[in-house]
Amino acid sequence: MNIATLDSSAVAPPNATSLKQDASIIGLVGLAHASSHFSHLLLPLMFPLFIKEFGFSYSELGLLMSVFFVVSGVGQASGGFLVDRMGARPVMFAALATIMLACVVASFATGYTSLVLVAALAGLGNSPFHPIDFTIMNQRVSPARLGYAFSVHGITGNLGWAAATVFFATVSSLYNWRIAYLGAAGMYGAILLLLVLNRGKLSTVVAERKPDDKAEHGLAFMKLPVVWWCFGFFLLSTMTLAVVQSFSVSLLKALYGVSFEVATMTLTAYMLCGAAGMLVGGFVAARISNSDKVVAICMAVGAGFLALCGTGIFGATGTMAVLAATGFAVGIGGPSRDMMIKKATPKGATGRVYGMVYSGLDVGFAIAPVLFGVFMDRGWYKLTFFGAALVMLLSVGAALGVGLRTTPRFGVA
């Protein structure tokens, strides 16, 4: 395949768009991305209440999340094809409507079967947002502001997680969990209405494909090694994030005897530092063209910090500070990571590539809790930190592998 035919997106973004227009598009896409991350926590935040009301085991509840991420992973890979063929906007509207339906079904859940349906619907609705978001931004946002757009995109995702925690904790305590789900459905309905009213800013152009243009046709992009290197990077880097999200509270409690509240605050600090890092990373991505090297350096620093957490040499307070700093280091690389993927994207396959590559996120989230859960069950707490650090170090190699397979001939200046 001649890589000279490759380009960064289906339709080149405008060379000069007003700051107001770009900011509006970035804000709308960011809101949609926040709603996607919000959906990740529709079920797990309610696990204690489900155990109390239905008597479910942790294994049964864990299976619900497996359903969510399996459906989301398959849907994300295939959703990219829909985005490329139909445009991003109609797929976005359908995705939001599907998550809203999942919330309604959850509010009337009467047992395990109902919650499996909720997990499947929520996973399906969540699945296409990365190909949707990046197709819109790559086509509609000025090239000079793409780094900032990717930064805001990452930050809004973290804020979506934080908003879900506050929303469900508040509404379920004031009323009950069923009302909380109805409230979430209303929120998704309001977001959908807002995006429909601003639909003109979310339109994308579907590129024409010539029958003899194999680089732009069907599954041809999957033959590119760089796509699979990108997939591998996301799988590995997300496994580390999954370890932090799933086990950091338990690790801090087991290794240092800190309270649940303090350990939870540390995880919150990790997420907030990650958002702050993404803000800084937007400026880095806009000024440094070697995005793969930026990502590799950030991941290497993050791996070093996680390894330090495993040594315990800093004690409880120091370890919690280092763990929070890990979020900042990884966050800085976030926007450059998205630029790295943009450079590796063939012409006319933006949605498909982002869908396939970002499905690595779902695979990583599905694998890591099972793998490192064995470590936790056996009391290998320090090894859990070291294992997470090793996986992140492997992602450094994957990022550099992407860079070696991405050249200026891909149409990126």
Give the chain's domains with CATH numbers.
19-202 (1.20.1250.20), 219-407 (1.20.1250.20)
Contacts 24+ apart (CB under 8 A), 97-101: 97/125, 97/188, 97/192, 98/122, 98/124, 98/125, 99/35, 99/39, 99/42, 99/125, 99/126, 99/188, 100/125, 100/185, 100/188, 100/189, 100/192, 101/125, 101/185
Instruction: Say what the pLDDT of residue 350 is.
Output: 62
By the 8 A CB rule, do 131 and 73 touch?
Answer: no
- How many angstroms separate the CA atoms of 121 and 366, rounded? 17
Instruction: Say what the pLDDT of residue 242 is.
Output: 80
In tens digits, the chain (413 residues) has pLDDT values of 333 333 334 444 445 568 888 899 999 999 999 999 999 888 877 877 887 888 887 667 777 877 888 898 888 777 777 887 888 899 999 999 999 999 999 999 999 999 999 999 999 999 888 889 888 998 888 888 887 888 888 889 888 887 887 788 788 888 999 999 999 999 999 999 999 999 888 988 776 655 554 444 556 666 777 778 888 888 998 888 888 877 787 788 888 888 867 877 787 788 889 888 988 988 888 888 788 899 999 999 999 999 999 998 998 899 999 999 999 999 998 888 878 877 766 665 666 777 777 778 778 887 887 788 788 878 888 999 999 999 999 999 988 888 777 754 444 33
By the 8 A CB rule, do 44 and 65 touch?
Answer: yes
pLDDT, tens digit, 9 for 90 and up, residues 215-242: 445 566 667 777 788 888 889 988 888 8
Instruction: Say what the pLDDT of residue 198 is.
Output: 92
pLDDT, tens digit, 9 for 90 and up, residues 22-40: 899 999 999 999 999 999 8
Instruction: Say what the pLDDT of residue 220 is.
Output: 63
The residue type found at 157 is G
Instruction: Say what the pLDDT of residue 4 is.
Output: 33
Instruction: Say what the pLDDT of residue 214 is.
Output: 46
Instruction: Say what the pLDDT of residue 104 is.
Output: 97
